[in-house]
Amino acid sequence: MTIMDIVHEASQFEVPLSADECLKCNVCNTVCPVARVTDLFPGPKYVGPQAQRFRIATLLPPQAPSTPILTSPDATVDYCSGCGICTTACPADVKIAEMNSRARAEIKAGHRPRLRDWLLGQTDLVGHLGVAFAPLANWTLRNHLIRTLIEWTIGIHRRAPLPIFAGKTLRSRLSATAKGSRGETGGVVEPPPDRAVVLFHGCAANYYEPHVAFAAIEVLRRNGFETIAPDQVCCGLPFISNGLYSNARGRARTNLSVLADYARRGYKIVGTSTSCTHTLKAEYREMLDVDDDDARAVAGATWDICEFLLDLHDQDRLDTNFGRLDETLPYHAPCQLRSHGIGLPALDLFALVPGLQAIDMDHDCCGIAGTYGLKKEKYDIAMAVGDPLFTRLRATESARVACDSETCRWQIESATDRPVKHPIEIIAAAYAARDNPSRASGPEQAATTR
């Protein structure tokens, strides 16, 4: 066993020291969607593995007390959108995007967070307030004058695609039974793990798009699974993306304290937000160094909804009695989905639906990358990153688009004026078309029921 083996075993060094594998081959720079459109970001190679050598000295214990703590030699790392495409492209397994995220966090550590960045991470607080005052909040956030003021004061771009608050939260619409034994009421008898899954609905489904969660619940029910949605908070990804790791760790601990118990009892944790599920699977460990038994149990139990359904199909357990959906459906695979390493399961599911012609738009990133494209100084970059996708979508005849990630859906809707659906909504519509072929939720109807 060498020193490097020991170092590799300590997971908190896995990301930072993967820089050692970098060949300086530039492949990451060829795929970076941000460096493609702006000089403000020199490219993942430069701010990632190349800058990492300046940071690495502070990582190796034991550290002499006099060693200065180096953060990053280059603050442009903040222009990394965190899309993660570089990591998937790297032939040497360097965790480039993860390294950049950690570098950003180190730059921000010990400083008071910028109000905007803190606010973008406070998805539960904002969500609760927004839903409570939904009509007012929605009006406010669509008023151009107010949005201009918000841009000046807080730094959220006036045209950034902010979602519409739902009238009620998902949680308030779920029955006590659906919230499980760990729910507010407690003591509920839960169906066993072969007949139920835990739903990690995330903030998007709770505060903005309860219909996505309901589509998932319905599809799961069709396939013999009850849904348990125990107490949960934001996965913490918005804090991670904004470099506020200690806040994110708090979210991680809260979620793990509830979810680990389910995971150990054999429940699968299924999520409709592909970025939340990736956070549970990988980022608690890779970014936050939260790598205890709870984190491992939850990571191993977490599934993206489409990944879960495709797995059912492979076991011949998926109900494939879909009705016809005669439409051409452009599909955008979010950058965050690619980090799962699960292929594009939504496309495999769409292929099972008669009449449905899904088209993979094959574009790397829509630009938004979570909260990146909301920011005043990054909005134009995000729009430029997504521009080829938007141009092609605007040129299609299709009435709607499919995409697994909520922030991407909002970005694409805002840029193209096309309704963008979660794949699970399409699958739910395909079941509905079977039940009631005459009232099938075709594209026209779907567009009007937005």
Partner 1 sequence: MEPSPSHPRTSLARSIVPSSDVVVVGAGLAGLTAAIALVDAGAKVTLVARGHAATHWTAGGLDVAAPPGSNTAAEGLARLKARRGHPYAFLAADVRPAVDWLMGVLSAEGLPYAGDLDAPLRTMPTAIGSTRRVSLVPDAQSAALAPWSLDERLVLAGPAGFKDFWPAALAASLERPRVWGGDEAAVARPARVEAVSVELPGLAGRRNLTALHLAHLFDDPAWRATALDMIAMAVEEAGTGPGRIALPAVLGLADHAGALRDARQMLPLPPFEVPLVPPSLPGLRLYHALRAALRRRGGKIEVGEEVIRVDHDGRRVTAVAIAAAARERLFRTGGLVLATGGIAGGGLLGRADGTLVEPLLGLPVEAPAIGEWLAPDPFEPAGHPLESAGIRTDERLRPVDAGGRAVFENVAVAGSMVAGQRYLVERCGDGVAIASGRRAASTLGAALANTRGRREKAGATR
List interacting residues with partner 1 (CB under 8 A).
2, 4-5, 8-9, 11, 14, 18, 21, 25-27, 29-31, 35-37, 39, 42-43, 46, 87-93, 95, 278, 281-282, 285, 295-297, 299-303, 307, 310-311, 313-315, 338-343, 348, 362, 388
Q: Which is nearer to partner 1, 292 or 417 (CB)?
A: 292
Kindly state the smallest distance separating residue 326's Cβ from partner 1, in Å.
Answer: 21
CA dist 71 and 197 (Å) reads 42
State the Cα–Cα distance between residues 106 and 289, nearest whole angstrom.
Answer: 13
Max CA-CA distance within the chain? 75
* Cβ proximity to partner 1, 363 vs 422, nearer residue: 363
Shortest distance (Å) from residue 249 CB to partner 1? 18
Give the containing element (helix H, strand E) for 295: helix 293-301
Nearer to partner 1, 192 or 300 (CB): 300
**Chain Cα centroid distance, residue 334:** 8
In angstroms, give the least distance from the CB of 358 to partner 1: 13
Cβ at position 199, least distance to partner 1 in Å: 18
- DSSP character string of 175-244: -TGGG-TTSSS--PPPPPTTTEEEEE-HHIIIII-HHHHHHHHHHHHHTT-EEE--S----SHHHHHTT-
Q: Which residue has the tokens 């738009």?
A: 361
Q: Is 342 helix (H, G, I), strand (E, B) or coil?
A: coil
Q: Which is nearer to partner 1, 221 or 317 (CB)?
A: 317
Q: Name the one residue in this structure whose structure tokens are 């460990």.
A: 285
| CA neighbor of 182 nearest in space, from 196, 198, 206, 204 | 198
- The token pair that represents 448 in the structure block: 């009007």
> Which amino acid, one-letter code, is at 174?
L
Helix axes 305-314, 210-222, angle to 10 degrees: 10
169 vs 339, beta carbon nearer partner 1: 339
Give the tokens for residue 69: 């703590």
Q: Which is nearer to partner 1, 349 or 432 (CB)?
A: 349
**Residue 368 CA neighbour count, 13 Å, CB half:** 29
Question: Rounded distance, CA 405 to CA 419, Å?
Answer: 14
How far is 14 from 71, CA to CA, in rounded Å?
Answer: 18
Task: Output the smallest distance, CB 176 to partner 1, in A.
Answer: 30
- Residue whose CB is less far from partner 1, 91 or 354: 91
CB of 36 to partner 1, least distance (A): 6
CA pair distance 230, 242, nearest whole angstrom = 27
Q: Give every strand in the sheet of 356-360, ordered side by side.
A: 356-360, 327-332, 401-403, 420-421
Nearer to partner 1, 90 or 197 (CB): 90
Asked if the peptide bond before residue 62 counts as cis, ω within 30 degrees of 0, the response is yes
Give least dist CB 88 to partner 1, A. 3
Q: Which two tokens stand for residue 233?
A: 């908070």
Query: Residue 274 Cβ, how far from partner 1 at the closest point, in Å?
Result: 11
E strand spans, 333-425: 356-360, 401-403, 420-421
What is the torsional sign of CA 317, 326, 332, 402?
negative
Beta carbon nearer to partner 1, 274 or 414: 274
Nearest-approach distance from CB 62 to partner 1, in angstroms:
22
Q: Which two tokens stand for residue 246?
A: 């200690």
Q: How far is the CB of 265 from partner 1 (least distance, A)?
A: 14
CB of 264 to partner 1, least distance (A): 11
Judged by beta carbon, residue 214 or residue 225, the one nearer partner 1 is 225
In this complex, which beta carbon is closest to partner 1, that of residue 314 or of residue 417? 314
